[in-house]
Amino acid sequence: MKNIKLMLTLMLILLFIKVHVHAQYIPGKINDISLSSSHNRGTASQSNTNNNVESNKTELLKTPTMQLTENGLRDANDKEKSFVVINCNGKTAMELYRNAVKYINKIYKNPDEVIKGKMEGEYLKFNRSQSKFVKYNYDYYSIETHYQTELNFKDGKVKYEIIEFQMYQYTARPTYSQYQSNPNAYNLKDPTIPFLIVRNNKYDGVFCSNGEVCMSEVKQKIEDWFNNEIKLLTNALNEGGNSGSNNW
């Protein structure tokens, strides 16, 4: 009798286990869960990769800017620095040097004449002149500039600095009747009057002698000019070996 009860008890236990396992197992769900988990991990991994790529692109697009001060052009984020550093991740100093030379060859008709100093992979110094560099007072006046740029190269970065910066102002533009009556009194072709960063008793300038900005329009246009040049140079420095223009 005891044996029969024991056997019935064991049978009930086995039946309970079987029913319980069957209720827990639904065909396909375990694999689905595993696949879903794996898919989520893959999605997260892909998302992280995309975020890293976007982060690198954002870092690349962070072009430094300069600001005109009484002491000349300075790093907009650190007025103690007379230069800015252009980041070029993944580029060697020699690659950056060669890209800078390509840039000069593209924008100048006679590049050999404007390059005033060079050492392959280390530094490059070149001149630039620009007539009608800045126009102001409704284009009534204009300024010509002559400046020298120096680039120093290291792996992944370039130091950009304007080491000489001169400006000259054209004489006041006369009215038509004034010019007709005495054309020799006005020099409209060549700038002859120095234009200063800080004005003095003799010549005009961007800043007043007390340090305040006297000519905000001119200041902004000078900054726009150089910051646009930095942007163009940054793009040229970061060009790859095979540019899109070569894909005929």
- The predicted pLDDT at position 27 comes to 44
Residues 162-204: tens digit of each pLDDT: 999 999 987 666 666 666 676 666 655 667 789 999 999 888 8
Q: Please say if the pLDDT value at position 239 is more than 60.
A: yes
Higher confidence at residue 9 or residue 102?
Answer: 102
For residue 170, the model assigns a pLDDT of: 78
Q: Encode pLDDT of 130-163 as tens digits.
A: 988 898 877 777 899 999 999 999 999 999 999 9
Supply the DSSP symbol for 80: T
The single-letter DSSP state of residue 173 is: P
Q: Please enumerate in sequence order all residues whose Cβ is within 8 A of that of 140, keeping only pairs 6 or more positions apart, or say none.
A: 172, 173
Residue 25 confidence (pLDDT) above 50: no
Residue 79 has pLDDT above 50, yes or no: yes
Query: How much is the pLDDT for 244?
Result: 44
pLDDT of residue 86: 97
For the chain, strand residue ranges (E) read 66-69, 72-75, 83-87, 115-119, 123-136, 141-154, 157-169, 193-198, 205-207
User: 23-32, 47-56, 85-94, 237-246 — which one is most confidently predicted on average?
Assistant: 85-94
**CB contact at 8 A, 109 and 129:** no
- Residue 106 has a pLDDT of 92
Q: Could you give the percent of the chain with pLDDT greater than 70? A: 65
Bridge-partner residues for 160, per DSSP? 84, 151
Predicted confidence band of residue 32 (pLDDT cuts 50, 70, 90): very low
CATH class of 64-239: alpha beta
Beta-bridge partner residues of 166: 146
Q: What is the CA radius of gyration of the chain?
A: 35
CA dist., res. 160 & res. 148, Å (int): 11
Look at the pTM and tell me if it is higher than 0.85.
no
Of the candidate ranges 33-47, 104-118, 198-212, the one whose mean pLDDT is the lowest: 33-47
Q: Which long-range contacts (CB under 8 A, 24 or more apart) does 74-78 make?
A: none
Helices 216-237 and 93-107: angle between axes, nearest 10 degrees:
120
Residue 93 and residue 122 in contact, taking contact as beta carbons nearer than 8 Å: yes
